[in-house]
Amino acid sequence: MPAVRIPVEDYLKTSYRPDVDYVDGYTEQRHCAGKTHGKMLLRLAILLNNMPAVFAYLETRTQVAPDRFRVPDVCAFLDREPDEERFTTPPYLCIEVLSPEDRIPRALKVAKDYFRMGVPNVWIVDPADRIAYVCGPDNTLHPAEFMIATSDGRIALPTEAIFA
């Protein structure tokens, strides 16, 4: 069945389970099924929230452009909790966690939207292969061996803790 274009207002007032991205008038399914995926999101959020001045959120709609909303698996802000219910302010960090159905090219496409919005740090975490990547704005991936960190080092997590 062909995709049906919907107005952004309809997307914003509709609840999807699981939530979907909204790209140029169309919804896009996100792969986020399964216990492993859910546990990884929770683990990352707990690790981030245990850091001073870091506020982490799970699966919160984030407006990356006027006609685009992404739902990062995990995102984090520094120094203060945002006032908005749906994020329009760029998070400091967005993390995409791959599920078995996900592919790196889709994650890189989503990362590009985060960078365009002004998000300075994007990570991609692959629980199946136990690899965490720092994503560059030029669509490069840098595997983190022992520690994954933001560009300025304000957030750094041991990969051992991520995959514990």
Question: Which domain covers residue 52, as residue numbers?
Answer: 31-162
Stretch (H or E) spanning 16: none
Stretch (H or E) spanning 2: none
- Examine residue 63 and state whether it is found in any structural domain, yes or no: yes
- Examine residue 142 and state whether it is found in any structural domain, yes or no: yes
- In the prediction, which pLDDT does 34 show? 78
- Are the C-beta atoms of 56 and 11 separated by less than 8 Å? no
Q: pTM score, two decimals?
A: 0.91
- Examine residue 86 and state whether it is found in any structural domain, yes or no: yes
- Examine residue 21 and state whether it is found in any structural domain, yes or no: no
- Examine residue 16 and state whether it is found in any structural domain, yes or no: no
- Examine residue 90 and state whether it is found in any structural domain, yes or no: yes
Query: pLDDT band at 32, cuts 50/70/90?
Result: low
- In the prediction, which pLDDT does 151 show? 95
- Examine residue 2 and state whether it is found in any structural domain, yes or no: no
DSSP code of residue 52:
T
- In the prediction, which pLDDT does 33 show? 64
Q: Dihedral of CA 93/96/144/37: which sign?
A: positive
* CATH code of the domain covering residue 52: 3.90.1570.10
CA pair distance 111, 145, nearest whole angstrom: 21
Return the higher-pLDDT residue of 18 and 119. 119
- In the prediction, which pLDDT does 2 show? 58
Q: Per-residue pLDDT tens for 34-66?
A: 788 889 999 999 999 999 999 999 999 999 999
DSSP code of residue 89:
S
Q: Which of 19-23, 32-36, 71-75 has the lowest mean pLDDT?
A: 32-36
Q: Per-residue pLDDT tens for 104-162?
A: 888 999 999 999 999 999 999 999 999 999 999 999 999 999 999 999 999 999 999 99
Return the higher-pLDDT residue of 119 and 13. 119
Average pLDDT over residues 13-32: 81
Q: How many domains does the chain have?
A: 1
In the chain, what are the helix, strand and coil shares in percent, each to the nearest 5? 25, 30, 45
CA pair distance 54, 36, nearest whole angstrom: 24
- Examine residue 19 and state whether it is found in any structural domain, yes or no: no
Query: pLDDT band at 100, cuts 50/70/90?
Result: confident
Query: Taking 70 as the threshold, does the pLDDT of residue 1 lie above it?
Result: no
CA pair distance 90, 112, nearest whole angstrom: 13
CA pair distance 22, 11, nearest whole angstrom: 7
